[in-house]
Amino acid sequence: MGDAPKMGVQDRAASGSGLQRHTVLSRNDGVEPEWRRVEEFAHVFVDIEFETADDGAIARITINRPDKLNSFRPQTLREMERAFMHVRDEPRIRVVILTGKGAGSFCAGGDQSVRGESGYVGSDGVPRLEVLDLQVMMRRLPKPVIAAVAGYAVGGGHILHMVCDLTIAAENAMFGQSGPRVGSFDGGYGSSHMARLIGQKRAREMWFLCKLYDAQTALQWGLINCVVPVDALQLEAVTWAREIVLKSPTAIACLKAALNADEDGQAGLSQLAGEATRLFYQSKEGQEGRNAFLEKRRPDFARVAAKL
C-alpha cells in the first residue's frame, strides 16, 4: 500500500503554526474486510455484485461483466440504480465503493452490441440513455462514492469514475473517452465536469483525440486522487472509506451538496437546501410546527426557536 492516501487524508500541521498532527485510525485499519452479500438482492442481481463490510458501514458495488470489459447495458444500470437507492436509504451504510470485476477493466462504457438507433436497448425493446439518470443519482447521493479503478475506465465508464467523489487507481489503470470514435458523446457531466477537473484544453484533447492516458498522467492532471499497486487497490479503497466513516455523516452530506451546488445550478442548490431542511426538521423549532399542526393548536415558536 502506497503513502499517497495517508498524505491525502491525514491532517497536516504547517511549520510553526502550533497545530499538532492528529490522525484517528479505524480499529479495522489495514485489515482485509469481510464482505457479505446484501441478501435482499443476492438472487436478483445478474450484472452487479452488491456487498457490505465493517458491520454494514461500507458498501461495494461491483460491475460483474468481465467478459464485456464490464461495459454496461440497461439491465446493469437498473441494478446499479437499485443498489444506490438501497445505499441511500440504509442508515448503517456511510460510504460506497464502485469498482469493476477483475483487474482488467473498471468499466468500458456502454455495451455497443445492444446499442440501437436512439439508445441502448433493454429486454423491453425500448432504447434509452439510462446512464444519465445514474450519474445524477450518484451526484445526489448524500454519501460519498469512491471509485476503485483497475484497467480500463473508458467512455461512459470514464464518466462514471468522474462523477464519483473520489477515485483511487491501480497502476494499470487507463483513462480516456471513446465517444467520437464510435459516434457518441456526453455533453453533460462527461464534458462540463471533466473540464472542471482537468481544464478546458485537456478535456478537449481527451474528447477530440480519443487517446488513453495512464494512471500517473491522470494523477498529474487532477483526474484521480492516488495510484496504488493493483493488488492493493481494494484494501486502499476500504482504508479511505474507513476514514470517512469516522467523520460526521451530516457534515459530509452537506459538504458534498455544497461542492456540487456550484456546478449543478438550481438542482444543486435544491440538494443543498434539502440537507438544510433535513437538519431543520430535527430541530425543536421544526418539530414544534409539526406538533402544533397535529395537535390543532397555535405553534409557540418563540419558546423553542434558536437564537439568531
Q: Tell me: the pLDDT tens digits for 227-260?
A: 999 999 999 999 999 999 999 999 999 999 999 9
How much is the average pLDDT of 273-283? 80
Distance (Å, whole) CA 151 – CA 85: 27
**What count of other Cβ atoms lies within 10 Å of the Cβ of residue 184?**
17
In sequence order, the β-bridge partners of residue 174 are 152, 214
Distance (Å, whole) CA 236 – CA 190: 26
Domain chopping of the chain, boundaries: 4-247, 251-304
CATH architecture of the domain formed by 4-247: Alpha-Beta Complex (3.90)
Distance (Å, whole) CA 186 – CA 95: 27
Distance (Å, whole) CA 10 – CA 77: 35
pTM, two decimal places: 0.83
Distance (Å, whole) CA 132 – CA 186: 9
Q: Each residue of 56-72: pLDDT tens digit?
A: 999 999 999 999 999 99
Residues 6+ apart with CB under 8 A from 197: 162, 203, 221, 222, 223
Q: Each residue of 165-218: pLDDT tens digit?
A: 999 999 999 999 998 988 888 888 999 999 999 999 999 999 999 999 999 999
Distance (Å, whole) CA 277 – CA 283: 10
Mean of all residue pLDDT scores within the chain: 87
Instruction: State the residue for C-alpha cell 494523477.
Output: 219
Q: What are phi and psi of 47, to 5 degrees?
A: -90, -10
Q: CATH number of 251-304: 2.60.40.10, 1.10.12.10, 1.10.3720.10, 1.20.1260.10?
A: 1.10.12.10
